[in-house]
Amino acid sequence: MLIKNLVVGNLATNCYIVTDESTMKCAVIDPGSDSNEILGYIEENGLHPEAILITHGHFDHVTAVPAVREETGAPVYINEKDAYTGGRFDHARFQADENTRYYADGDKVQVGGLTFEVIETPGHSRGSVTLKCENVLFTGDTLFRDSVGRTDLEGGDMRELLRSILRLYDLEGDYEVYPGHMEASSLERERRFNYYMTYADREFRGQ
């Protein structure tokens, strides 16, 4: 598995292009902006996008979705709670259409030899998900290095977010953590040093 991180847009969103090197099929996670840069990397490396995977519907994670979808033909996946089908712009949810595919907790998306498993992790938004692939977690704006996502936007809920990161805490073993902003980490590091994770452990389990 090859992971390319492109930092895109004014809010420095991490867009990940995850490739199965045996087939050169890839998934594009959170194309938030700068579609030319994303598409340029795909073309230059001879990749074949099989899916566009959205961790949540905020504009800085989805702005380049239409261009990437049109150019590649790859289907778009998002949790339905973060999809919007009305006519007006909604910065907090993705503008879905009849071709949008919805995934929920436990669903799996196959990209070449890679399997992305959906873990619903609401709190930053109602429909936030973490995508688990092999030993990697793509956490969107749920879990950051030493922090968590904000909860003061529409659909945010701090207690729900704490329960979500506690669910990640309880995953067996260690994982690389690739968040929606800032630098990567590991789950074991966050278990030890992330205040919000240790607080959630004490708050809900009294430890």
pTM: 0.96
Query: DSSP per residue over the chain, as a string?
Result: -EEEEEEETTTTEEEEEEEETTTTEEEEE---S-HHHHHHHHHHTT-EEEEEE-S---HHHHTTHHHHHHHH---EEE-GGGEE-SSS--TTSEE--TT-EE--TT-EEEETTEEEEEEE--SSSTT-EEEEETTEEEEETTEETTEE----STT--HHHHHHHHHHHHTSSS--EEEESBS--EEHHHHHHH-HHHHHHHHHHH--
Asked if the model's pLDDT at residue 109 lies above 70, the reply is yes
Asked if the model's pLDDT at residue 99 lies above 80, the reply is yes
Please give the domain boundaries of the chain with CATH numbers for all domains: 2-205 (3.60.15.10)
Write the pLDDT tens digit of every residue in 123-168: 999 999 999 999 999 999 999 999 999 999 888 999 999 999 999 9
Is pLDDT larger for residue 2 or for residue 202? 2
Asked if the model's pLDDT at residue 90 lies above 90, the reply is no
